[in-house]
Amino acid sequence: MTTATAAPSSTNALLAALAAKQAQASRQRTAKLPSGRSRWRVLPTWKTNGDPTFWHDFGQHFIKDAANQVKAVAVCMSRTFNQPCEACDLLARAISQSGDDLTKKRFEDMLAGSKVLVNALHIDGPQPNVPQLLELPPSVFTGKKGVGGLIGLMQQYPQMLDPAAGFDVIIEKSGSGMDTSYAVNPVVGPSNPVPAEALTKLHDLDAYVKGELEGGKARALQNLSAVTGLLPAPRAEMASGVIIEPAASIVANVAPAVAAAPVVAAPAAPVVVEAPMTADPFAGQPPHVKLAVDGAGGLGTPGGDATFKALTGMEPVKPVAAAVAPAPAGTVVTAAPAAAATVVTPPAGAAAAAAAATPIASTGDPELDALLQGIESPAK
């Protein structure tokens, strides 16, 4: 009788790598809208807990090398979960520091676009009764400037998703690249009911996104760092007014600032001239946009303005501050010494504990929340 022996660690590592490669190859691919006219039946939710949500926001970063070859793909946390995205921040820094237009364009092309995932039957496709994991541009789902699209049809015809009483839609795709346009219209005439078997094969969109997230983030950030020559920005957390920096950059006991010399000021208080109010340029933007812009120098600087435009697609407008009128000479006033800013060295593990104390916004899926919390933790 032959006694089985334990596999060496190198063999185990090889088997794990092969299993990961097999899982990557077997991952579900999304269907894309073909050019021209195509007929689809959008299906109701896959969820069984009473939640009627039938779509999932989605976005990916395609990390490419200088030869334009895809090295890795990562889920964009901002586009998919409306949470800060390390890849977005790293790309924003790379764009602002690009030395030439060609390199800048290459990094801009790695920014994630918005997509919407739904279950749908491709009625005039090769498998009309098999649910497809369909990837839609935002304009097809929400319409142009909130008018039209699938949502507009549903508001007009609330029964659209009903398996028996609903109807098919025609989506027409024309043009290419930046000139691509879409039109969404209901089918004129009766539509066939959705086969009962098709409703048992709906794709779990939460599970799909979770699988994509688990499969690509670490590798993508590693490749993105190699492509850009930059490292992800360190995570600094604020807790009770104490600045907690990464261990490599901790500075303790900063000397207090020297008091300013006496200056001549007017006997009356300075006159504050109110400037016209300007809307907050970061209003309605994901949190990572302001972090990335501040890291690139802030609004009003070439790097900050370029980062804001790259992440939002809008021209930056710097808020106007109130102006202080110069006071006439007259009275000598001694300026108070500036308050000292002390950076405190945290005890071992304090940075990780502070980061862990900051909860990640819930996605509605407990398992996915746990996964995101683990990925965002500085201890990982």
CB-based contacts of 125: which residues, under 8 Å, 6+ apart?
38, 132
Q: What's the pTM value of the predicted model, to 2 decimals? A: 0.56
Residue 18 tokens read as 């092969």
Annotated domain spans of the chain: 28-228, 237-332+342-376
Domain 28-228 has CATH 3.90.198.10: yes
Separation CA 286–CA 85 (nearest Å): 9
Segment 350-372, tens digit of pLDDT: 444 444 444 556 666 777 666 66
Q: What is the pLDDT of residue 30?
A: 93
Q: What is the pLDDT of residue 189?
A: 87
Query: Is pLDDT above 80 for 155?
Result: yes
DSSP line for 224-240: HHHHHS-PPPP--EEET
The confidence band for 71, taking pLDDT boundaries of 50, 70 and 90, is: confident
Q: Tell me what the pLDDT averaged over the chain comes to.
A: 74
Q: What is the pLDDT of residue 259?
A: 46
Segment 298-341, tens digit of pLDDT: 888 877 787 777 777 777 775 554 444 454 444 444 444 444 44
Q: What is the pLDDT of residue 293?
A: 74
Separation CA 104–CA 91 (nearest Å): 10
Segment 24-36, tens digit of pLDDT: 444 568 999 999 9
18 against 335, higher pLDDT: 18
Q: What is the pLDDT of residue 72?
A: 84
Say if CB 246 and CB 236 are below 8 A apart. yes
The confidence band for 117, taking pLDDT boundaries of 50, 70 and 90, is: very high
Segment 89-115, tens digit of pLDDT: 989 999 999 889 998 999 999 999 999
Query: Is pLDDT above 90 for 66?
Result: no
Segment 222-249, tens digit of pLDDT: 777 777 777 665 544 333 332 223 333 2
Q: What is the pLDDT of residue 171?
A: 97
Separation CA 74–CA 84 (nearest Å): 14
Q: How far is C-alpha 228 from the chain's CA centre?
A: 19
Q: What is the pLDDT of residue 79?
A: 94
Burial class (CB within 10 angstroms; exposed 0-12, middle 13-18, buried 19+) of 97: middle
Supply the Cα-derived Rg of the chain in whole angstroms: 27
Half-sphere exposure of 221 (CA within 13 A, CB side): 19
